[in-house]
Amino acid sequence: MSPTILVVDDDEDILVELERTLSKRGYSVTTTTSPDIALGRATSEDFGVVLSDLRIGARSGIDLCERIRAACPAVPVIVMTGFGTMEAAVETLRAGAFDFVTKPFSPAHLDLSLRRALDHRALSREVRSLRSRIDGQSGARGILGRSDAMGEVLEVVGRVAATGATVLVTGESGTGKELVARALHDASPRAKGPFVAVNCAALPDALLESELFGHAKGAFTDAKTTKKGLFLEATGGTLFLDEIGEMPLTTQAKLLRALEDRKVRPVGANHEVAFDARIVTATNRDIESRAAEGTFREDLLFRINVVHVELPPLRARGDDVLLLAKVFVRKFAERHGKALMGMTDDVERRLLAYPWPGNVRELQNAIERAVALARGDLVVADDLPKRINDHAPADILVSGTDPTELCSLEEVERRYIAKVMEIVGGSKSEAAKILGLDRSTLYRKVEKYRSDSS
């Protein structure tokens, strides 16, 4: 896709002329005569460069440049100066312009300046993305992960946080659903408001409704006073409905009405109250099959599933296991006053080979325990829970008892290498570590099996 240049000038003839020359050189061009429209579009669209005249009617191009730099610092601005005075040029650069071109300019000169600006933009984008990968963190605070699987999650979280959209977070137990819900809140304009979490599975049906929607005084025996309810407690903030898959059907019907009308009716009350909370929900159940079998309302699923964030299980996140483990070692060492430096290669191998049914929570607990037990300055295999040390990957390979299905050792090796490569997301160095081979040996084996099978 060719980069789009936004050209701002009050002279229509110049706009037509620039559009023609720049298109010929392969750029997509958008033009406007209004600095306000330019600013609006620059903030909402993804332009490669803004090319602005120094004077746009009575308005100043330098002022526009400053405002674009403030609103979207990643977009380079090039200013066209008509007078060629040094003063104007210096002033444009001071305002944060990437470059200036003096009129009349040759198309080649303009092209050069545009290319430099676009290269600069591409480079700074790359630096930013590399930096966030190195930190293992993106805009979403506290969610660690560098794997491609988590990269996608973090990208969606970063993109929707500010929009206030209703989000459904799914994933196995311990994959970080609540963490994502909090990150969505923290990165939203509602961050200063309350984050109210409720576990829909933990309360009996009747209590859940009065918790959520509130109740009027005397609504039932124990209702001695009026109660506001969590929808209203979350005013100006986020309401997190956890384990929504467990919500009883009667409550589901009331929740659907509330979400449709943006109003709640407290239990026993004859009036409705408008609420102002962003709704984030989570479940570790396969909610779509629950909807298909009729235990979860399809229309409610449709309402809560405006944006879907699906957290991958830890075993599908490759090296993230080690990234998380190292951060947890540091965290718990600090908490328990230990001077731990890290873990042995052997421990790393075991952590990578274990399938983590309890996901990040299980890893975190295992590391906390290991740190508490550790004696030297490294966590060693003995400090790990028995189930991790005992985990025998052999059961991946030999599960049947049918003699006709038994195979040669070489075939076992081939299958096992393929399985390990798949689990670590194709990383040969990680696979080599798990297999206890050096990289070149692994490489040779992978190549051999590949050529055997082709």
Ligand X SMILES: Nc1ncnc2c1ncn2[C@@H]1O[C@H](COP(=O)(O)OP(=O)(O)OP(=O)(O)O)[C@@H](O)[C@H]1O
Q: Which parts of this chain interact with Mg ion (CB under 5 A)?
A: 177-178
Contact between 318 and ligand X per CB under 6 A: no
Give the x/- contact pattern for ligand X in 39-58, rule: CB under 6 A. --------------------
Residue 173, contacted partner among ligand X, Mg ion, none, CB below 5-8 A by kind = ligand X
Least separation in angstroms between CB 380 and ligand X: 24
254 contact choice in ligand X, Mg ion, none (CB below 5 to 8 Å, kind-dependent): none
Retrieve residue 212's tokens: 């959520």
Q: Which residue is nearest to ligand X (CB)?
A: 176
Rounded Cα distance between 79 and 81, Å, is: 6
Of 12, 115, 13, 120, the closest CA to residue 75 belongs to 120
Number of residues that make up the chain: 454
- Nearest to residue 9, comparing CAs of 34, 41, 27? 34
Q: Considering CB distances under 5 to 8 angstroms, the limit depending on partner class, which of Mg ion, ligand X, none binds residue 175? A: ligand X
238 binds ligand X (CB under 6 A): no
Binding mask 139-168 for ligand X (x = CB under 6 A): ----xxx-----------------------
Q: Which is nearer to ligand X, 145 or 237 (CB)?
A: 145
Element housing 253 (H / E): helix 249-261
Residue 171 sits in the site that holds ligand X (CB under 6 A): yes
Q: Which of 92, 251, 284, 321 binds ligand X (CB under 6 A)?
A: 284
Q: Dump strand ranges (E) for 172-325.
A: 195-199, 238-242, 263-264, 273-274, 278-283, 307-310
For residue 81, the one-letter residue type is: T
CB of 317 to ligand X, least distance (A): 8
Could you give the CA distance from residue 323 to residue 180 in angstroms, rounded to a whole number?
18
Does 124 interact with ligand X (rule: CB under 6 A)? no
Q: Is the CB of residue 239 less than 8 Å from the CB of residue 280?
A: yes
Considering only 38, 80, 352, 360, the residue that binds ligand X (CB under 6 A) is 360
Q: How far is the CB of 257 from ligand X (least distance, A)?
A: 27
Are residues 357 and 388 in contact, defined by beta-carbon separation less than 8 angstroms? Answer: no
Rounded to a whole number of angstroms, the minimum distance from the CB of residue 155 to Mg ion is 22
State yes or no: residue 364 binds ligand X (CB under 6 A): yes
* Secondary-structure percent of the chain, ordered helix, strand, coil, rounded to 5: 50, 15, 35
Taking CB under 6 A as the criterion, the residue among 121, 177, 297, 350 binding ligand X is 177
Q: Which of 120, 2, 113, 136 lies closest to 51, judged by CA?
A: 113
